[in-house]
Amino acid sequence: MKLAILGTGKIVDEVLPVLKEINGIALSAILSTPRSLEKAQKLAEIYGISQASSDYDSILANPDVDTIYVALPNHLHYDYAKKALTSGKHVICEKPFTLTLAEFEDLAKIAEQNNRILLEAITNQYLSNFAAIKGNLAKLGDIKIVECNYSQYSSRYDAFKRGEIAPTFDPEKGGGALRDLNIYNIHLVVGLFGKPEKVQYLANMERGVDTSGILIMDYGHFKAACIGAKDCATEIKSTIQGNKGSIAIIGATNTVPELALSLNNQSMTMINENTLNHRMHDEFVAFQAIIEQEDMTATKLALEHSRAVMEVLDAAINSL
């Protein structure tokens, strides 16, 4: 995979050392705004990236690029991914995929028409502890209640209250708790149980954006509550409760760091099957293999999952 990275933000700083160590990934280009070009050039020097540019067309024209990783603010995902697909590049897009289900469906259609691979970068679906949850679900009996809480006081919230609006709190740029922290909870629940029958989002709104909220996902025979907050904080923990036991995720749903399996009348068992690698390592190992092998079956399955998540997001926003 010959990869071009779009963006120079925090997620790019975090992922570059990871990508550098994965066999089969060549870092070919990095895109920045003109204002951030100096930072892009420094990152290119550190990580051996041959092209650093603020000209997207020049990156798309680079024959040493076959895949675009869209690590830009949420509202830019659709346009940049669409241009990459129509230019014949594969696309890996950061979460949330797009701002609307219609945008996602358009990208999926373009990818299919151009025989290109389109994937969403969502860490928890590729972690070994996520697979361990799946493997232990049957032990819990009939699922009754699922609760996921990813609440983290944002370093930008105080500035937001003063009227300084960063993209993460800008409703016009896809900001808000639902698409930021709660999206990991949604991916986890949908990845385990599929699409719910009904969705309702109860949000705390400030300046037109959800600074925190509770997403109710009704599966008929059980209910799931996904809590995401950027304006307050508590212990970050999730639980899946059945009539024969429970599984607790000790930590955030984007890392799934440790599991506690508690079966009725038995002592608790701690589980951690994750590797010692960074949380983004496993997903990019999977992406590299999918793209190298042009694995359309795996691509289709991943897109079906992302589509279900986008349907939940659309329903949540429409319920406000």
Q: Which domains does the chain have, with CATH numbers?
A: 2-121 (3.40.50.720), 125-274 (3.30.360.10)
Q: Please give the pLDDT value at position 211.
A: 98
Q: Please give the pLDDT value at position 250.
A: 98
Cβ–Cβ < 8 Å for 217, 312: yes
Q: Please give the pLDDT value at position 205.
A: 98
Q: Averaged over 243-250, what is the pLDDT? A: 98
Question: Looking at the whole model, is its pTM more than 0.75?
Answer: yes
Instruction: Give the model confidence (pLDDT) of 97-124 as tens digits.
Output: 999 999 999 999 999 999 999 999 999 9
Alpha carbon separation from 312 to 64, 222, 306, 316 (Å, rounded): 37, 16, 10, 6
Band (293; pLDDT cuts 50, 70, 90): very high
Q: Please give the pLDDT value at position 311.
A: 98
Instruction: Give the model confidence (pLDDT) of 13-64 as tens digits.
Output: 999 999 999 999 999 999 999 999 999 999 999 999 999 999 999 999 999 9
Q: Please give the pLDDT value at position 46.
A: 97
Q: Averaged over 229-237, what is the pLDDT? A: 98
To the nearest whole number, what is the mean pLDDT of the chain? Answer: 97
Band (152; pLDDT cuts 50, 70, 90): very high
Q: Please give the pLDDT value at position 267.
A: 94
Q: Please give the pLDDT value at position 178.
A: 98
Instruction: Give the model confidence (pLDDT) of 167-226 as tens digits.
Output: 999 999 999 999 999 999 999 999 999 999 999 999 999 999 999 999 999 999 999 999
